[in-house]
Amino acid sequence: MDFKAYVTDKIAELTGLDRTAASNAAETPPDEKMGDLAFPCFPLAKVMRKAPAAIAAELAEKFPAGGPVAKVEAAGGYLNFFFDRAEFAKDIISGINAAGEKWGSSGEGAGKTVLVEYSSPNIAKPFHIGHLFSTAVGNSLARIYKHLGYNVQSLNHLGDWGTQFGKLISAYKRWGDKAAIEKEPIKELLRIYVKFHEEAEKDPSLDDEARMYFKKLEDGDDEATSLWKYFKDLSLVEFQRVYDMLGVKFDSYNGEAFYSDKMDEVVDILREKGLLTESDGAQVVDLSELNIPPCIILKSDGATIYATRDIAAALYRHRTYDFYKNIYVVGTPQALHFKQIFAVMKKAGWDWSSGCTHVNFGLVKLPGKAMSTRHGDVVFLEDVLNESIEKTRAIIESSSPDASDIDEKSKKIGIGAILYTFLKNSREKDIVFSWESMLDFEGESAPYCQYSYARGRSILRRAEGIDWSDADMSLAASDEEYSLVKQLGLYGDAVKAAADKNEPFLVNRYVTNLAKLFNKFYNTNPILKDDVDIETKKARLAIVDAACTVIKSALYMLGIETVESM
């Protein structure tokens, strides 16, 4: 039963208020002592021509007694509702047992496709710690939308085109060592790429050489194309190793190069629609009426740029997927770029472009400086993940030297700790890279949540032989038990809010609070002690079982895996 719907429907009947309006007005009180649901009567004052306090008192008397609502109280201008704890707990726990991992899901996305573009590293460049922001947020959003019933396509828009490949070809032909590159592909390619920039500062003619090589690549030159493919294949193998560690999978790896033959059509369409104007030799779309700088479509030399490619990609995706949403998980510095291309698509009359959304995120900074691949100032993501795994292993071995499956546990807990760090705050906040903060396992952390799950699973294993499927939930109505059950009931709201705002941290905050409430419940309500009667044990075990289901599901939404014991 939807307890909120029951209450707000009755309010609508008593007041003549629209059901949707009544539902939207209802809210959760700031203090549990004030009830489980509150309805503010202030909006009714003009209609009913009474003071809000008088309206609340009148409605409290008229509200039908019994059923799912145990008590109704008027408090000032508010109507406070106290649910029947046993009925509420029975409804939530039985619902979780029946739904399993689908608890909190919905069918709102049925028949709708959501594209999530994320990660998008540059070929032949390091997969550094900064890429984890996009990867963590994007992977989490993909899982959240899937939970809500959407057909989700995860897209990795690789940076596999552009003048940097001319630089890399030049660097390879001058200083490349094939044996060294095949031993450590990304690190060696980064080394010669950095060397190119160092040498180009002394000899600017190298930049002309790089442009020449990229022009050859654009023209389909056999040698340039062969080297480009060589760099790309090596890079993808390296990237895949990191994606496997993170449990991330993509449905498409179409990068910038894929759209290189689709840009002429975009230029033609914009020209036919009369949207292109000349500016200093370049072809641009004027966006001054929106107070946005003009969007360059063709440079003065006739070459296309990122904007042209991204517009071509959006058009291709519309035709291929007929998407409901096309989400770009890309850093905040690209905000203007997306404003420009979205505005161009709207001016082109493409109504579907309203489904395109830029989901921005902050920067990952090194203490005192920014990361730069040109100068080699990067922190490799794989190094961070491995360091976290090794630190976790040391902790496990020191506290539980006889623990089983140490390799698996170290990986899940260590990687989970890093992902949690990136998803614990609003995505727009910057992160200053710090080994200490990244690998802090104390307090609010993934290991804390994983431990709560493992503790619950341990209790259930020790309860072998007890069947709690028919538990009498009226025996689990203490404040700690009821608070935990209410939190379990809010999971679907948390997932929905995370999707509506494209903010995974809302699920992170939810599961952290759930873990806290679970531990409070566990510490104040004995479960398997001899002096606890069997029926009470069943009720409490049913809550433990449901809590484990929801903790595991919520952590999965964040890309974090659980362990059965810690």
**Residues with active-site annotation:** 125, 128, 131
* Complete DSSP assignment for 22-68: HHHH-B--SSGGG-SEEEE-GGGHHHHTS-HHHHHHHHHHHSPPSTT
Q: Is 548 helix (H, G, I), strand (E, B) or coil?
A: helix
Spatial distance between the Cα atoms of 313 and 345, rounded to a whole number of angstroms: 12
Backbone torsions φ then ψ of 289, nearest 5 degrees: -65, -15
* Complete DSSP assignment for 244-265: HHHT---SB---GGGGTTSHHH
Token pair listed for 366: 């090194």
Question: Running DSSP on this structure, what letter comes out for residue 102?
Answer: G
Which residues have C-beta within 8 Å of that of residue 97, sequence separation ≥ 6? 469, 542, 545, 546
Dihedral sign computed on CA atoms, order 67, 69, 70, 71 = negative
Q: How far is CA 53 from CA 38, 42, 81, 446, 448, in A?
A: 13, 8, 15, 45, 44
Query: How many CA within 13 A on the CB side of residue 347?
Result: 25
Spatial distance between the Cα atoms of 16 and 557, rounded to a whole number of angstroms: 40
Do residues 143 and 556 lie in contact, with contact meaning Cβ atoms separated by under 8 Å? yes
Question: Running DSSP on this structure, what letter comes out for residue 121?
Answer: P
Q: Is 441 helix (H, G, I), strand (E, B) or coil?
A: coil
Q: Is 397 helix (H, G, I), strand (E, B) or coil?
A: helix
Buried b (16+ CB within 10 A) or exposed e, 490-499: bbbebbbbbb
Q: How many CB atoms lie within 10 A of CB 434?
A: 13
Tokens 């949403």: give the residue: 325
